[in-house]
Amino acid sequence: MTDKQSWTDRLFGGFRKTSEKLTSNITEVVGTAKLDDATLDDVEDALILSDLGPSAAARIRAKLAEKRFGLEITERELKEAVAEEIAAILRPVAKPLEITAFPRPQVLLVIGVNGSGKTTTIAKLAHLFQEDDYAVMLAAGDTFRAAAIGQLATWADRVGVPIVRGPEGGDPASIVFDAVKQATDVGTDALIVDTAGRLQNKRELMDELAKIRKVLGRLNPEAPHDVVLVLDATNGQNALSQIDVFKEVAGVTGLVMTKLDGTARGGVLVQAAEQYGLPIHAIGVGEKIDDLRPFDPDLVARVIAGVA
């Protein structure tokens, strides 16, 4: 089995709930030879039921009507057409993280609620950058939980990258300051900073992140260069509500979607793209270190539509 096929199989595993539902609904829809209003209504309903959301569903329906209304269409052709319209929504937000900052390092703040896969995503991002021959350093800025510091240190050791950390309950801004200084001194390309993901007290989190930004600004006015929100795809609509909160609290610049190897509702990706337009940098489909890959909108669209 090729790496590409293995990746597709795991991706389909994560999108199977959405794909099977959409495929089943489309199969039921195509009972006539022509794409008429009744069929389009049924397609739109099928898309909504498949977790793509009403806005994306309405957009896809309108595009299908514009291009294919009144024409004969088979089940396969309809699925291909749906895949193309889903891809059209996803392509503009498919933007891999690129290390372009000068002077170095490029500082990436990584945020997300506990349990979203944030810590492992940081390690996987580090590995992804290493594959492109970038020097990477981690900073354990989530000092609220001792477990978070320990987990990040374990991953840093596995990946083979240095980590700057402090005691539990320490000042995250001080740790970030030390990390930027060290990263600058040794010529690190990318500094990935773990941050607290506590949403119980938004004001406290906003203050903490504002302090980190202030410290970074003293060292490099352009930092942080990226604020990446890690989302657990299995949370469905709750993942979308987290985007709202973290956009307000942290100024999110892009997304990473994790846990797409289970029973995730893959349609949430389409909803996020349609509703927020934030870059989707990567998606995760497993626990292995290389199971985080740049977001491929065409592959994801074809998997969702059942034609991959």
Query: Which span out of 9-13, 115-119, 191-195 was modeled with the highest average pLDDT?
Result: 191-195
DSSP SS3 for 139: strand
8 Å CB contact between 228 and 258: no
For residue 196, say whether it is annotated as part of any ligand binding site. yes
Closest CA to 243 of 234, 301, 232: 232
Judge whether 116 is annotated as a binding position.
yes
**Is the pLDDT score of 30 beyond 80?**
no
Q: Has 267 been labeled as part of a binding site? A: no
Beta bridge partners of 163: 138
Q: How many CB atoms are located within 10 Å of the residue 298 CB?
A: 16
Asked if pLDDT for residue 7 goes beyond 60, the answer is no
9 annotated among ligand-binding-site residues: no
- Tell me whether residue 62 is annotated as binding: no
For β-strands 280-284 and 292-294, DSSP reports them as: antiparallel
Q: What local confidence, expressed as pLDDT, does residue 90 receive?
A: 96
Instruction: Give the pLDDT confidence score for residue 12 in this predicted structure.
Output: 53
23 labelled ligand-binding: no
Mean pLDDT, rounded, of the chain: 86
Is 37 annotated in some ligand binding site? Answer: no
Report the pLDDT value the prediction gives residue 3, as an integer from 0 to 100: 57
Question: pLDDT digit string (tens) for 78-116?
Answer: 889 999 999 999 999 999 999 999 999 999 999 988 888
Task: Give the integer Cα–Cα distance in Å for 220 and 181.
Answer: 11
Percentage of the chain modeled with pLDDT above 70:
86
- Which strands make up the sheet holding 226-232, listed edge to edge? 163-164, 136-140, 190-194, 106-111, 226-232, 254-258, 280-284, 292-294
Contact 89, 267 (CB under 8 A): no
Cβ proximity of 196 and 208 under 8 Å: yes
Q: Where would I find the beta strands (DSSP E) of the chain?
A: 106-111, 136-140, 163-164, 190-194, 226-232, 254-258, 280-284, 292-294
Q: Name the pLDDT band for 234 (thresholds 50, 70, 90).
A: confident
**Could you tell me if 119 and 148 are in contact, meaning their C-beta atoms sit under 8 angstroms apart?**
yes
Predicted confidence at residue 260, as pLDDT, reads 79
**In whole angstroms, how far apart are CA 87 and each of 40, 92, 111?**
19, 9, 27
Does 57 score more than 50 pLDDT?
yes
Residue 1's pLDDT is what? 47
Summarize pLDDT for 164-180 with one digit per residue, the tens.
999 888 999 999 999 99
Q: Is 118 annotated as a binding residue?
A: yes
Residue 8 assigned ligand-binding role = no
Residue 190 sits at φ, ψ, to 5 deg, of: -130, 125
Q: Is 119 annotated as contributing to ligand binding? A: yes
User: b/e per residue, 22-59, with b = 16+ CB within 10 A?
Assistant: bbebbeebbeeeebeeebbebbbebbbebbbbeebbeb
Confirm or deny that 170 is annotated as ligand binding: no
**Which of the two residues, 116 and 199, has the higher pLDDT score?**
116
63 annotated to bind ligand: no
Whole-model pTM: value is 0.89
- Over residues 158-168, mean pLDDT: 94
39 in a known ligand binding site: no
Q: Is 117 annotated as a binding residue?
A: yes
The 10 Å Cβ neighbour count of residue 89 is 22
Q: 22: pLDDT confidence band, cut at 50, 70 and 90?
A: low
Give the three-class secondary structure for 168: coil
